[in-house]
Amino acid sequence: MPGNSGNKPPAWLWPNLLGLDAPAVAVSWQVLFSCSFDADFPAVLHLILGLSVWCIYLADRLCDSVRAGETAGVTDRLMFTRRNFKALAIALAFAAGANLLLIARHVPGKLIVPGLLTATLLAAYYLLRFMNGARFTAVIPREILCGMLYALGCVIATNACAPSGSTGAPFWFAAFLLGLVCSANCMLISLWEHREDLAACDRSIATTHPRILGTIAAAVSSLTVISLAATPFLPWRICISVALSALALRVILNRETRLPTPMLRVLADAALLTPLAFLWG
């Protein structure tokens, strides 16, 4: 694998190869939003979200490994999935089954409709992606769609279970800020993996707009400022977390020529774990 002389991946790469980083990020933001807006829901919903995100990401990778075939230039993540396809498929089946049981037993009734709507939007996103919906993604890049859907999944439980009247415009603007920083994360990873996307004929913002680096850098810097400016009007822990994540992404972007792509990807995901600074203890 890139950046490793042997067959065994370095320890810091394992969470990314196994797809554990995305669930960890999602749960950390779900906890932060629920605390910030006084949402009251069973703690098992954190496990349900984590399993849901892990199943979605793992299914996506398994599908990508089939679609890519023997294409040259695939990522280390995809090579790992291909080599361990059977074991990962079995793990996905067990995790999905367990998650469905948890959903059936523990999801509050008021979360069923928002959950189904989010699942429908997610299904539409993947349908467009696998059909190579070039026209649609030319209007809204897949990275923005992915980031916004990811953020929506993190906050729907809080929106459904928070006290009446507490999740108005401030809540949705905070969720929008989270969606922006998640979208920035997706865009940067697409930039760093644009060669692999080109080889696999997978449309991304980097393959369609090869000179967008400067725009993304400016957007990430602006997001830091906007999040800090919103602190007096929104829950301060959310604003500071978004600002710190955006700032971390900007710092990583400044170091992109000095680090291998797998490490850049791991750092970009770790940059979204800033809620842990406010949830510790």
Say whether pLDDT at 236 is over 90: yes
Q: What is the pLDDT of residues 59-103, one digit of tens each?
A: 988 988 887 666 555 678 888 988 999 999 999 999 999 999 999
Q: What is the pLDDT of residue 281?
A: 52
Domain boundary assignment for the chain: 14-274
Say whether pLDDT at 242 is over 90: yes
* Cα distance between residue 120 and residue 57, in whole Å: 16
CB 131 within 8 A of CB 193: no
Predicted TM-score of the model (pTM)? 0.89
Q: What is the pLDDT of residue 191?
A: 84
Could you tell me which residues come within 8 angstroms of residue 156 by beta carbon, excluding any fewer than 6 positions away? 111, 114, 115, 118
Could you tell me which residues come within 8 angstroms of residue 140 by beta carbon, excluding any fewer than 6 positions away? none
